[in-house]
């Protein structure tokens, strides 16, 4: 009626038939959940009353409910597939189909993503991954030791001194705190130059292979420049908070050729509601890995943040599970971890993780070198 | 003890003394709420035990609780100020200080943002705003009429035909549906070229001043090119979903010089939890306006989305309230609005809004021109 000139044969000829799938948890009784599933099919694609659509669009462009089942009382689970062409070979539009408009609806949680082949071709994932970072740092088996340069307010020179001490002390990866960007008291250029040089010098002096990771979360038009500049200045990795700068900035930034450490800042609100949003596993696991993160920092249960044990296990599973050609990504539980947490972290996650202890390396004693020694001892003792 | 070489006089000399302020709602009893407020001061800046900090950092870099008061039983409100230097003259780091790590904590909601002068200099806000869009569309008083080209699956030619009919019918602003990016069935280049040309031709033929708005939500490295290309091809505005591409991509994109329409996709999860995240007023109002959006589309109460009346009023207030040199931004309530909703929308928000009716322009009758006539009549009748 409205679309007389629509050419259904042309549309059909443009579709490969390959589809990607998203799994949603839907809250409510069976009828409510089923109508949420049906709603997702249209809301995420055509945003149009299905009964008014041309038949081919209704059948091929709206999502298809592939499976619908009860998970427990009041919780259902729907697997919905979408023609891969709806995502336009763009990570941004892929994210929009998965959870764009329905992010504003209640009782819908995105809990699993199964990309199609074309989506995976577009998103090759980690360039280095677990084995790459192990090779760079020369740590074949135990969890590499990871810490952060802080607090904000120190000068670039102060931070570089700390970086040298951590290197001497045996820490494998030393990153900027995620709040260090380009502040007047520790400007990006000077900080990265000094910290990279300090780690390099200490590596030579103490026969170490420590890596300095520069935070490059930055204005839209400076992210890529900072990634390349960090590399030039000798950083061994870069960190980005894609909640702030967008997942696709992470994908693009991998082109600088350094290992990428993803930080969860800002996007927590998406995952803090058990009945809505995006599950921790998808947000910090699946999407970070698809974006190309080599390691993901996430707030571990039992620290300063309220994630559950299951949330964390889901992140770790999504980070490391076999997934076609995607390399495994290092999970890095963090957020208030102390030396006393190391045993349970290793028991929970095994040794394929980064042990990130930040301020906990200061609070366990007055002598940083001695604290580093305890850190190594705790990690090797497990 | 750790920071012997820290130069406190140097840090003091680098701080202007100007501060920006964020207001948080804190859930729990008074003790819990107060400790959440204290936690925010450190978590958003130094991420370090305050008792171990050098004195100047503890006093000048961590946040300061400026006000703490009870809002109602179990809800407190804290105004916390931060040295503007913590935000490094970067929108991205400003966002990180406002709600980076604490997005992962529970019972904390960001409800108000008061930028400092330097932050406002960095974020000049809407270039056109309400008066600019009224001038471009030649609609001095009533709400401009706004609709969307849909459904996904139509060809660029089909969409252009629709755009011509809407122009003839008297719609003032005709945008791509937010899911149209660069799909094979309606590629960006062809779609924008055809739709812009169709609107231009119909404007001449029917003596109209309608504007076509191209969706440029795109991969990180294509957003800016698409904004400029849309302008070259004759689009009168661009639309972006900064939840997906990052708020700072919107700021940067304003440089193309076209009115910017912001879409709320993906970030809804941040605002869907009444006890956590970012309030609708801040997320869709304050931050969109600071980023430079000339209009913001948001899901109106009483439509397909569950926002409350108060949420929507907050967005509208933040969009239009006097705020230094920031131009007012057009609020555009949407999401399942129909002709029958127009009267209550105007009663609620007054006439300084964009009346966005998308699929409702199809579902109210078989003849689009006739439906447009009813749309105008409803808007003018109020």
Q: What is the 3-state secondary structure (H, E, C) of A328-377?
A: CCEEEEECCCCHHHHHHHHHHHCCCCCEECCCHHHHCCCCHHHHHHHHHH
Tokens of B6: 């820290």
Tell me the CA distances in angstroms from A41 to A7, A177, B14, B31, B152, one per residue in order: 22, 41, 54, 46, 12
Nearest residue in chain B measured CA to CA from A16:
B184
The closest CB to that of A151, out of B57, B90, B157, belongs to B57
Mean pLDDT of A14-30: 98
The C-alpha atoms of residue B281 and residue A192 are separated, in whole angstroms, by: 37
The C-alpha atoms of residue A267 and residue A278 are separated, in whole angstroms, by: 10
Chain B hits for A88, Cβ within 8 Å? 181-184
Going by their DSSP bridges, the two strands B295-299 and B330-334 should be labelled as: parallel
- Residue showing tokens 């400007």: A187
- Residue showing tokens 């069935």: B185
Sign of CA dihedral A38, A115, A263, B117: negative
Tokens of A263: 């930080």
Asked if A217 lies within 8 A of B92 by C-beta distance, the reply is: yes
The closest CB to that of A184, out of B14, B245, B267, belongs to B14
The C-alpha atoms of residue B332 and residue B340 are separated, in whole angstroms, by: 16
Q: Work out the widest C-alpha separation in chain B, in whole angstroms.
A: 78
Q: Hey, what's the torsion of the CAs at A64, A70, A72, A76, to 10 degrees?
A: 20
Tokens of A60: 């091929």
Distance between A140 CA and the closest CA of chain B, angstroms: 31
Distance between A378 CA and the closest CA of chain B, angstroms: 22
Classify each residue of A332-359 as buried b or exposed e, where b means 16 or more C-beta atoms within 10 Å of its C-beta. bbbbbbbbebbeebbebbeebbbbbbbb
Contact A260, A250 (CB under 8 A): yes
Chain B hits for A60, Cβ within 8 Å? 153
Nearest residue in chain A measured CA to CA from B109:
A269
Query: What is the tens place of the pLDDT at every residue in A254-271?
Result: 999 999 999 999 999 899
Asked if B219 lies within 8 A of A54 by C-beta distance, the reply is: no
Asked if B95 lies within 8 A of A266 by C-beta distance, the reply is: yes
Q: Hey, what's the torsion of the CAs at B270, B271, B276, B282, to 10 degrees?
A: 100
Distance between B219 CA and the closest CA of chain A, angstroms: 6
Asked if A266 lies within 8 A of B99 by C-beta distance, the reply is: yes
Classify each residue of A296-307 as buried b or exposed e, where b means 16 or more C-beta atoms within 10 Å of its C-beta. bbbbbbbbbbbb
Residue B205 confidence (pLDDT): 98
Chain B hits for A299, Cβ within 8 Å? 104
Chain B hits for A107, Cβ within 8 Å? none
Chain A hits for B95, Cβ within 8 Å? 244, 266
Task: Check pLDDT > 80 for residue A2.
Answer: no
Tokens of B50: 């305050």
Chain A hits for B217, Cβ within 8 Å? 92-93, 96
Chain B hits for A178, Cβ within 8 Å? 96, 100-101
Chain B hits for A56, Cβ within 8 Å? 153
pLDDT > 70 in chain A, percent: 100
The three-class DSSP label of residue B318 is helix
**C-beta neighbour count of A59 within 10 angstroms:** 14
Neighbouring residues of A367: CB distance < 8 A, sequence distance ≥ 6: none
Contact B218, B208 (CB under 8 A): no
Asked if A151 lies within 8 A of B46 by C-beta distance, the reply is: yes
The C-alpha atoms of residue B251 and residue B290 are separated, in whole angstroms, by: 8
- Residue showing tokens 């967008």: A246
The C-alpha atoms of residue A333 and residue A143 are separated, in whole angstroms, by: 11
Element (H, E) at B373: helix B368-380
Asked if B5 lies within 8 A of A86 by C-beta distance, the reply is: no
B245 φ/ψ angles, rounded to the nearest 5 degrees: -100, -5
Residue A273 confidence (pLDDT): 86
The closest CB to that of A5, out of B54, B161, B251, belongs to B161
Nearest residue in chain B measured CA to CA from A56:
B153
Neighbouring residues of A297: CB distance < 8 A, sequence distance ≥ 6: A178, A261, A262, A263, A264, A332, A334, A356
Residue A306 confidence (pLDDT): 87
Tokens of A37: 């599933």
Asked if A100 lies within 8 A of B179 by C-beta distance, the reply is: yes
Neighbouring residues of A340: CB distance < 8 A, sequence distance ≥ 6: none
Residue B367 confidence (pLDDT): 94
The C-alpha atoms of residue A306 and residue A309 are separated, in whole angstroms, by: 10
Mean pLDDT of A349-360: 96
Distance between A50 CA and the closest CA of chain B, angstroms: 10
Nearest to A44 by CA among A87, A102, A111, A109: A102
DSSP letter for A149, please.
Answer: E
The C-alpha atoms of residue A217 and residue A342 are separated, in whole angstroms, by: 29
The C-alpha atoms of residue A359 and residue A375 are separated, in whole angstroms, by: 12
* Interface probe, candidates A6, A88, A360, chain B, greatest B C-beta count within 10 A: A88
Residue B381 confidence (pLDDT): 83
Contact B358, B148 (CB under 8 A): yes
Residue B1 confidence (pLDDT): 58
Contact A94, B218 (CB under 8 A): no
Report the number of secondary-structure helices (H) and strands (E) in chain B: 18, 13
Asked if B104 lies within 8 A of A307 by C-beta distance, the reply is: yes
Asked if B61 lies within 8 A of A268 by C-beta distance, the reply is: no
DSSP letter for A306, please.
Answer: -
The closest CB to that of A248, out of B85, B105, B245, belongs to B245
Contact A246, A267 (CB under 8 A): no
Alpha carbon distance, N-terminus to C-terminus of chain A: 70
Nearest residue in chain B measured CA to CA from A215:
B93
- Residue showing tokens 């998203």: A22
pLDDT in tens for each of the 382 residues of chain B? 578 899 999 999 999 999 999 999 999 999 999 999 999 999 999 999 999 999 999 999 999 999 999 999 999 999 999 999 999 999 999 999 999 999 999 999 999 999 999 999 999 999 999 999 999 999 999 999 999 999 999 999 999 999 999 999 999 999 999 999 999 999 999 999 999 999 999 999 999 999 999 999 999 999 999 999 999 999 999 999 999 999 999 999 999 999 999 999 999 989 988 899 999 999 999 999 999 999 999 999 988 888 999 999 999 999 999 999 999 999 999 998 999 999 999 999 999 999 999 999 999 898 999 999 999 999 998 7
In order of their start, the domains of chain A are 10-122 (3.30.70.150), 129-380 (3.20.20.110)
Predicted TM-score (pTM) above 0.95: yes
The C-alpha atoms of residue B138 and residue B141 are separated, in whole angstroms, by: 9
Tokens of A214: 């520069």
Distance between A130 CA and the closest CA of chain B, angstroms: 25
Asked if A47 lies within 8 A of B152 by C-beta distance, the reply is: yes
Angle at A328 between CA A326 and CA A329, to 5 degrees: 115
Place A284 in a pLDDT band, splitting at 50, 70 and 90: very high
Contact A262, A250 (CB under 8 A): yes
Chain B hits for A57, Cβ within 8 Å? 151-154
* Interface probe, candidates B7, B244, B282, chain A, greatest A C-beta count within 10 A: B244
Residue A1 confidence (pLDDT): 58
The closest CB to that of A273, out of B5, B89, B273, belongs to B273
Alpha carbon distance, N-terminus to C-terminus of chain B: 70
Chain B hits for A54, Cβ within 8 Å? 153
Read out DSSP for A173-242? EEEE-TT-SS-TTS-HHHHHHHHHHHHHHHHHHHT---EEEEE----TTTHHHHHHHHHHTT-SEEEE-H
Tokens of A299: 């707030």
Nearest residue in chain B measured CA to CA from A153:
B57
The C-alpha atoms of residue B329 and residue B68 are separated, in whole angstroms, by: 31
The C-alpha atoms of residue A120 and residue B2 are separated, in whole angstroms, by: 47
Asked if B183 lies within 8 A of A85 by C-beta distance, the reply is: yes
């Amino acid at each position: 009626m409205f679309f007389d000139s629509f050419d259904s044969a042309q549309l059909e000829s443009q579709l490969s038939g390959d589809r990607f799938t998203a799994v949603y948890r839907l809250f409510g009784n069976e009828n409510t959940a089923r109508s949420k599933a049906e709603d997702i099919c249209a809301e995420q694609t055509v945003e149009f009353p299905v009964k008014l659509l041309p038949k081919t669009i209704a059948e091929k462009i709206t999502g298809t409910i592939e499976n619908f089942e009860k998970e427990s009382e009041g919780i259902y689970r729907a697997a919905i597939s979408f023609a891969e062409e709806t995502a336009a070979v763009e990570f941004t539009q892929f994210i929009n189909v998965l959870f764009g408009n329905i992010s504003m609806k209640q009782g819908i949680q995105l809990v699993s993503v199964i990309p199609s082949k074309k989506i995976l071709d577009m998103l090759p994932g980690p360039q280095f991954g677990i084995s790459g970072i192990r090779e760079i740092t020369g740590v074949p088996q135990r969890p590499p030791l990871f810490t952060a340069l802080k607090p904000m307010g120190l000068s670039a020179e102060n931070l570089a001194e700390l970086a040298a001490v951590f290197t001497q002390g045996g820490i494998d990866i030393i990153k900027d705190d995620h709040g260090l960007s380009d502040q007047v008291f520790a400007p990006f250029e000077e900080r990265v130059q000094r910290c990279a040089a300090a780690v390099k010098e200490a590596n030579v002096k103490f026969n170490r292979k420590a890596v300095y990771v520069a935070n490059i979360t930055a204005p839209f038009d400076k992210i890529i420049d900072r990634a390349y500049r960090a590399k030039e200045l000798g950083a061994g990795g870069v960190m980005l908070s894609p909640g702030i700068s967008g997942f696709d900035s992470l994908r693009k930034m991998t082109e600088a050729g350094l290992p990428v450490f993803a930080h969860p800042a800002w996007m927590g609100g998406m995952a803090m509601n058990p009945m809505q949003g995006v599950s921790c596993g998808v947000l910090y696991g699946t999407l970070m890995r698809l974006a190309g993160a080599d390691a993901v920092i996430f707030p571990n249960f039992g620290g300063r943040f309220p994630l559950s044990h299951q949330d964390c296990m889901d992140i770790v599973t999504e980070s490391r599970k076999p997934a076609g050609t995607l390399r495994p990504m290092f999970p890095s539980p963090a957020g208030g971890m102390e030396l006393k947490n190391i045993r349970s972290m290793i028991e929970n996650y095994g040794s394929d993780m980064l042990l990130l202890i930040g301020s906990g390396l200061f609070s366990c004693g007055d002598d940083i070198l001695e604290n580093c020694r305890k850190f190594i001892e705790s990690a090797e003792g497990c």
